[in-house]
Structure formats: C-alpha cells, structure tokens
Amino acid sequence: MLGRIINFIVGKASFEIFIRDPREITVLNLLKKQGFYDCEVSEGKITLSCGCGDVKTISEKLREMQLDYKLRTAGLWYLLKNFFLRGGLICAAVLCLILDAVFSDTLWRIDVIGNQTIPEREIREALYSFGVYEGCRKSDIDIKQLTIDYMLLDDRVSFAHLNINGTTAVMEISEREVPPERQPDKKDVCNIVAKCDGVISRIDVYSGGKEVENGDSVLKGQLLISSFFETRTVGYILRRAKGTVFAETSPVFEMRIPKETYIKTGKTEHEKKSLKVLGFVLPIDGGNIALKGKNAELDTESRQLSLFGTISLPVSLVTDRYTVENIEESKRDKESAEKIFQEHYIKWKNEYLKDAEILSEENEFKEEDDCYIFAVRLSCIENIGIDKPFEIREN
C-alpha cells in the first residue's frame, strides 16, 4: 500500500516496445543507463517501467531506432502536468463557475399577481425604488424589509410579499378592501343622535319622540329624537324620526406641526441600460439602484437592434429613465408653521360653517422640543342631530 502511494505521488511511466526482429532486443542494452525496472520480454514485445524523469530520454532513443511503442503514464505529477498543458480548459472551467455564480444570483424576470385596481406599472415603479428590477442581484434583496417598506409606502395594499424561485421573482399583492359607507335610505327607520357633545338650546320634533329638553347636556352618540314612540290613538308606533336639534358646542381645531421639514431642491435623472434577449433582461451598466421608497417617475424606451439596418434581431436595447425629487432636511420657524396652520384652519372653518354659527374664537399656542402646537377653541351654535338607522338587537 505504501509503495502504491509513493508511486502515485512521484509518478510512473510504462513502455510497451514492439519488436519486429529478435535482434532488436538489444535495445535493452542501450537503455540500461536510464534505470528502468519491471522489465518483461515476451514474443514480439518488451514491457518496462521507469520514473517520470527518464520518459523523455527513453522516448528519444526509441524514435531514433524507429521502434514502435506505447507509453502509459500515471501519478500526481503527470495529472498536474496535463492540467497545466490544458490551460484553456482550466480557464474555461473557472469562467463557467464565475458565470454560474453571477447569473444564478441575478433576477431575470419579475411577475406581479393579485392586483385588481392598482396598475402593474405603479407596483414595478415602487419595486424599482427599492432596487428590485430585472437584472438586479438576488443577494442584495432583503425580502422581509422590502415587505415592510412596501406596505408603508402604499396604503392601498393589505398584503405584499416577494417570492423568489430560482431567477424569477413573483410580487404577490392583496389590495385593501374598504367597504363603502352605507348611507341611510329615506325609507329606513332612523333615530336622530348627537354627532358631538353640547348643551341643547332648541329642539324641534316633526316626527318621533323627543328624548331631551332645552338646557340638557348631551354626549356624542346620545339619542335625541326616537323613532319608536307612543301615540294617544294607536299606541306605540315605529317611524322615521324627523327634526332639528340645535346646541351650544365647543369644538377645538388643533394641529401639531413638526419643526423638522424637508424641502425640494430639484430633480435628478437616473438611467439604466439593459439588453433584452428572448425575454431575458441582461443589465449593461451593473449594480442595483435603491431609492428607498422615494417617488420615482419611470420612462422606458426600447429599441430593436438590427443587422446591417435590414435584418431585425431578437435583441432590444432597453433604456429605463426615472426622475427623483432631491429632498433636503431643513428647520421650520414659527412663522411658516403658523401659515400652514392658518391655511388648514380656514378650509376646515369654511366647511364647518355650513351647519354652524361661530360665536367666538380663542387662539392658543404651545411650543415643544420637536413641534409647534396651534389650537383654536370655538363657541358655536350648530345642528348636532344626525340620522342613525334603527337596530333591533337580540339578547
């Protein structure tokens, strides 16, 4: 066993020499100096072995004597020598390993499923902003963080997940279902309840039972006029409550405006080129571009390549251009914050005056470490009665 191990390490060569004339056996005398061993002579053939260092000399002498022979080599030394002689094969093998490592880590296709009303283009633009596109590296994608960032970015989505299978990714989307708010029908039996807290100043009942009196304090949601009431002639009846309920209210409009703000300083255009070959996208300009949820305007241009300007090739040059707003952090002063507050307050006040009369306004201001707090306390007279469908609940 030890001898075999040594022979494998140092290498071994075996010659089979074919002789046509018995006198040619004298070749052994010429080869004695080369140190061959395991020599066997049979009819028409001489078999001998030698070390790897003597192969060249013995081969030259046999060719000088014009003798036919076969050479067999074995061992580590010859194995390494053959590899080095085939440097092209080694380079090709290394190149194949590199290409396999690169291409198997590349995302060649992205499919979007589950979307009903959200355009696929918007979903792909959002994925672009997180560095996920055809040609990006799979190892650069954090699927868990991508899911969190995407759902924070788009409130129309209730579920989002990126599944990667090989070099294909599938973005699965579930859209948020918002049931439409049911408006009471004119034929529905409804009570009238308070939409906010207040003190009753006047109540006019056209149909239904009065549940409060002038001067009563009521809470939001409290019953004001009931649809279920007693009459002198037919007893208890159920019909839609009708009437108006005016009350003194004290609404407060308040806003907390952060001191930290962000200002737009212009736009930056990004461009990514890739080759599209038989449906596969091969990036030309390399690495991922992650915009971390920034709003990007994407414009894609595809140009079919041709041979000599006449023969169309199944290859397209795809150029993706997307524009991103440059945003810088800035400090907001009290004057600019108050201006923002006044703009929102005026809009709210104009809407509020449709159902109320403002008697007085009292402005308040408070400053904290991270924000300004503006508030207006009002004294109003308004109609606080709203319809609420009558419900019969089982115990």
> What is the residue-wise DSSP string for 336-362?
HHHHHHHHHHHHHHHHHTTSEEEEEEE
pLDDT at res. 132: 83
Give the whole-number percent of the chain exceeding pLDDT 90: 16
> What is the residue-wise DSSP string for 164-189?
EETTEEEEEEEEPP-PPPPPPPTTS-
Q: Which amino acid is located at 349 in the chain?
A: K
Who's near 195: CB < 8 A, 6+ residues apart? 220, 384, 385, 386
Q: DSSP character for 106?
A: B
Measured at the alpha carbon of residue 279, what is the angle toward residues 274 and 122, in degrees to the nearest 5? 70
- Tell whether the model's pLDDT for residue 391 goes beyond 80: no
Q: 143-155, pLDDT tens digit by residue?
A: 888 888 888 888 8
- Tell whether the model's pLDDT for residue 122 goes beyond 80: yes
Confidence band for 278, pLDDT divided at 50, 70 and 90: low
> How many other C-beta atoms can be found within 10 angstroms of the C-beta atom of residue 318?
19
Which position has the token pair 């996920």? 132
Distance CA 274, CA 86 (A): 35
Q: Among 184, 200, 180, which Cα is nearest to 385's?
A: 200
pTM, to two decimals: 0.46
Strand 168-175 relative to strand 109-113, pairing? parallel
Q: Among 297, 300, 294, 293, which Cα is nearest to 322's?
A: 297
- Tell whether the model's pLDDT for residue 257 goes beyond 80: yes
104 HSE (CA, 13 A, CB side): 6
Q: DSSP character for 7?
A: H
Who's near 123: CB < 8 A, 6+ residues apart? 112, 115, 171, 173
Helix or strand or coil: residue 97?
Answer: helix
The residue with greater pLDDT, 8 or 274, is: 274
Q: What residue ranges define each of the domains in the chain, with the CATH number in brackets?
A: 2-83 (3.30.70.340), 109-175 (3.10.20.310), 253-259+332-381 (no CATH), 262-330 (no CATH)
Q: What is the mean pLDDT of residues 76-83?
A: 61
Confidence band for 50, pLDDT divided at 50, 70 and 90: confident
- Tell whether the model's pLDDT for residue 59 goes beyond 60: yes
Task: Point out the least confidently predicted range of 159-163, 307-311, 371-375.
Answer: 307-311
Give the whole-number percent of the chain exceeding pLDDT 70: 72
Strand order in the sheet with 280-283: 280-283, 260-277, 311-331, 296-307
- Tell whether the model's pLDDT for residue 109 goes beyond 70: yes
> Token pair of 147, please?
């899911």
Strand order in the sheet with 157-165: 109-113, 168-175, 157-165
- Tell whether the model's pLDDT for residue 97 goes beyond 80: no
Measured at the alpha carbon of residue 90, what is the angle toward residues 87 and 92, in degrees to the nearest 5? 110
Q: 217-249, pLDDT tens digit by residue?
A: 999 999 998 887 766 666 677 878 889 999 999
Q: 289-345, pLDDT tens digit by residue?
A: 545 445 566 677 777 777 666 666 777 777 777 777 777 788 888 999 999 999 999
Distance CA 86, CA 81 (A): 9
Report in angstroms the alpha-carbon separations of 212 from 201, 205, 386: 11, 11, 15
pLDDT at res. 164: 87
Q: Which amino acid is located at 125 in the chain?
A: E
- Tell whether the model's pLDDT for residue 9 goes beyond 80: no
pLDDT at res. 287: 45
For the chain, the average pLDDT equals: 78
Rounding to the nearest 10 degrees, give the CA dihedral for residues 64, 65, 70, 73: -50
Q: 175-221, pLDDT tens digit by residue?
A: 887 666 656 556 678 889 999 999 999 999 888 888 899 999 999 99
Who's near 41: CB < 8 A, 6+ residues apart? 25, 28, 47
Distance CA 16, CA 9 (A): 22
pLDDT at res. 297: 65
pLDDT at res. 394: 54
